[in-house]
Amino acid sequence: MANNDIEMLRKELDDVNLQLLDLINKRASIVQEIGHIKYKQGVNVFDPVREKEMLEQLVAHNKGPFDNATVKHIFKEVFKACVELQEDHHRKALLV
Amino acid sequence: MANNDIEMLRKELDDVNLQLLDLINKRASIVQEIGHIKYKQGVNVFDPVREKEMLEQLVAHNKGPFDNATVKHIFKEVFKACVELQEDHHRKALLV
pLDDT at B87: 80
pLDDT at A32: 94
**Quick check: bond before B65 cis, omega within 30?**
yes
pTM of the model: 0.92
Spatial neighbors of B4 by CB under 8 A, at least 6 apart, are none
Helices (H), B42-67: 48-61
Q: What is the pLDDT of residues A48-78, one digit of tens each?
A: 999 999 999 999 999 999 999 999 999 999 9
How far apart, in whole angstroms, are the C-alpha atoms of residue B28 and residue B22? 10
pLDDT at B33: 94
Q: Is there a contact between B66 and A17 if contact means CB atoms under 8 Å apart?
A: no
Average of per-residue pLDDT values in chain A: 92
Q: B8 CB near a chain A CB, below 8 Å?
A: no
Q: Nearest 5°: phi and psi at B80?
A: -60, -45
Intervals of chain B under pLDDT 70? 1, 96
Class of the domain covering B2-95: mainly alpha
From B28's Cα to the closest Cα of chain A, the distance in A is 7
**Closest CB to B2 among A17, A41, A71:** A41
pLDDT at B89: 73
pLDDT score of A89 more than 80: no
From A49's Cα to the closest Cα of chain B, the distance in A is 13
The arithmetic mean of pLDDT across residues A36-44, rounded, is 89
How far apart, in whole angstroms, are the C-alpha atoms of residue B56 and residue B9? 31
